[in-house]
Amino acid sequence: MTALRPPQALPAETVVGAPRPAGRPDLAPSAVPGGAPAGLGRPPAPPRPQPPAVHHAVLCVNAPGMAASGPDGQLRGHGLHGFYQHGVRVLARMELRLGGMEPLPLQGTLTSAARARFLGAVRLPGDLDPDPALTVERLRHADGVETVTVRNTGARPARLPLEITLGTDLGPVAEIAAGHRQPDLPGQVQSSGLRWTGPAHSAVVSARPSPHAVLAGAGVLRWDLEVQPGARWSVELHAQLEATAPGPRPPGGRGTGVPLPWAEPEVRSDDPRAAPLVTRSLDALGGLLFADPDRPTDLYPASGAPWRFGLAPADALWAARLTLPLGTRLAAGTLRALARRQQLAPAPGRPEGLLPGALRHGGPELPPTCTATEATLLFVTVLAEAWRWGLPPAETAELLPAAERALTALREGLVDGFVTDLSRPVEDRSAHPVPARAEVQAQAHRAALHGAELLEAFGRPGAAQWRDWAAGLRGRFRERFWVDDLSGGRPAAALAPGDRPLPALASSLVHLLDTGLAADGGRHESLLDREQTRLFAQRLLAPELDSGWGLRTLSAKSPRFNPLGHRGGAVRVHETALAVAGLAEAGHENEAGTLLEGLLAAAAHFEGRLPEMYAGEQRTPGSPPVPHPAACRPAAVSAAGAAHAVFALAGVRPDVPGGRVLVRPASTAPLGELELTGLRVAGEPFSVRVSRIGVAMVEEAPEELQLVAR
């Protein structure tokens, strides 16, 4: 379980159990204990170290391990380089030389989320042939295993030493994220390798076959090779972390032989970009899966690697929700893991039922948001929608008390009929009101309606009251959040105390389109009326928000626009994916298709593995999207969101408790013919084919469910 983003890069979400670097800029001044604004008479703060950039790194991930290097495969101890386990750098340096020379790098690429392959070439000393006789292949796994293979394709034997130089600082990823690098620890000879010992951990590297020589002071393993023409020689190295001090049991990974918590679908489409996007997105998400130490059969996704490689409740819930078309196992595991972490003995003034979360920077024109609020509200929605997709009633009922506690937190967190920050004490919310953000109202409205459905279905009281409250919120929102302008109007991004709208145009407003799955596969009513939704859909496609690669987090017309600002103009993949799904469900299919085209085009440049975000530069012919230097790659919400954007076009909307499945595909068929095989409804296979004219044909479905088409 590891830490957070680089301080100079992006504000962090909460990662449960992770260390926090001091002075994180994602926290507002009032949120930093003991913090005070800089002023006259105070010495200037020392410059922060430059955090490592990761956009060029080859990063392979298989929770709880990951490995990062440059494209040449050498681990040089720079920046993020190294093998990691449980948030500790097991190995910082692993530099290979053959005959005293580094191989000439030829290729370095991921073969899956957990594996990378690096290929280099070496010419034999004194060889007159211009072609290199030796190739060096390095097959790396995020779990800490690397296989080095030397092949001789020349005409004479190769006799030369292979040396691998090793070292580590056993540094926590939180310090590395902040740009700090401690000196390497002294090594000791291990039976077939080296060992380094720190205050809380030891690192061990072992090799098979054993090296011919071990130089502990220099950290060198050496083999004297003789490779005949046409032959090969291999060595396998294992890097392992050992605890030397007692501590809490960290979460483990999925484990060998444990199946993925979702079905693996097949995607066929006229658009060749769709299938690899779904396949590689799910592969990336699989590398982020942790097993809850309290119940190892419950899997949940980490937020992202490398900076948020742990449980961030809001991100985990989003990923679980967006993959519901592939089954309910990930949702069930995530919900149970979070229910065990729900706040049952709250601090004074804070409501019971709150999930963990931290204050998150809202960008240059908007107030901060609290991931505790988002996660608490989203918990109710994920449970209700998982139940609609087929989560068994017994499992749903087991989690219902946690959902009721989340609804209690919502009820106690209201200020003037709107929702701000549920984690703030009641007296603080009243004495120091903060703006109410539009997307928080959308999440609260959806949670209230989903909560009412669960309460009613399971014979609990309160359903009518929550429906009444949601209806009242719709009226208040349409009256007080709508801003009239020359283009017809748009929703305000937030409402400041005194009913002053904050008119920033931001991609976070797409949450207004995400009304949630309702009975009979329908949609809940939106906070926007039909005409307001139409005007908003048009505004999303305006060049100030649509970069051509996806939606910017802040309008390009804003004087504070920054294409690399994580909430100031960068493109966040999952918000664009939510817009695609929401627009298609609301009947604005042309707009949905336009945004989906931008995501697919960007994905092609990222080899089908979309990062958490990328720069909001305007798309121009011949220029690829600009990567963000500190974006997580992979990130749970972007991976799940990318797959969801494709699934949403089929329009599969089940109501398993009601015995129905509504299939309402996008009639514009943005991907041409689309066939999805291996989805899951009620735990059973579900397959659908959408023709080029937008007509759906269900080819496989549970027999007990009635199919309804619209």
> Rounded to 5 degrees, what angle do the CA atoms 696, 702, 706 make?
65
Are 553 and 631 contacting, i.e. CB atoms less than 8 angstroms apart?
no
Partners of 140 in the β-ladder: 116, 146
Cis geometry, peptide bond prior to residue 306 (ω within 30 degrees of 0):
yes
Minimum mean pLDDT among 2-11, 327-336, 489-498: which range? 2-11
Cβ pair 66, 305 in contact under 8 A: yes
Dihedral of alpha carbons 685, 403, 441, 531, sign: positive
SS3 content of the chain, % helix, strand, coil (to 5): 25, 25, 45
- The pLDDT tens digits for 200-250 are 999 999 999 999 999 999 999 999 999 999 999 999 999 999 988 877 888
For residue range 112-170, what is the model confidence (pLDDT) as tens digits? 999 999 999 998 877 777 889 999 999 999 999 999 999 999 888 999 999 999 999 99
Answer for the pair 327, 261: CB distance below 8 angstroms, yes or no. yes
For the chain, the average pLDDT equals: 90
- Mean pLDDT calculated for residue range 191-202: 93
Closest alpha carbon to 445 in 485, 391, 491: 491
When pLDDT is cut at 50, 70 and 90, the band that residue 28 belongs to is: very low
Q: Using pLDDT thresholds of 50, 70 and 90, give the confidence band for residue 412.
A: confident
Q: What is the pLDDT of residues 517-526, one digit of tens each?
A: 999 999 999 9
Choices 3.30.300.10, 1.50.10.10, 3.20.20.80, 1.10.10.60: CATH for 253-268+280-709: 1.50.10.10
* Domain regions of the chain by residue span: 65-249, 253-268+280-709
CA–CA distance, 219 with 168 (Å, rounded to integer): 10
Taking the complete model, does pTM exceed 0.85, yes or no? yes
Q: Residue 27: pLDDT above 50?
A: no
Cα 475 from Cα 273, distance rounded (Å) = 42
Alpha-carbon span 74 to 105, nearest angstrom: 10
CA distance 191 to 205: 10
Q: Judging by DSSP bridges, how do beta strands 252-253 and 104-110 pair with one another?
A: unpaired
Q: What totals of helices (H) and strands (E) does the chain contain, helices first? A: 13, 38
Residues 6+ apart with CB under 8 A from 272: none
Question: Which residue would you say has higher pLDDT here, 83 or 425?
Answer: 83
Residue 685 CB burial class (10 angstroms; 0-12, 13-18, ≥19): middle
Distance of CA 474 to the CA centre of its chain: 31
pLDDT tens by residue, 249-287? 889 999 888 899 999 999 999 999 999 999 999 999 999
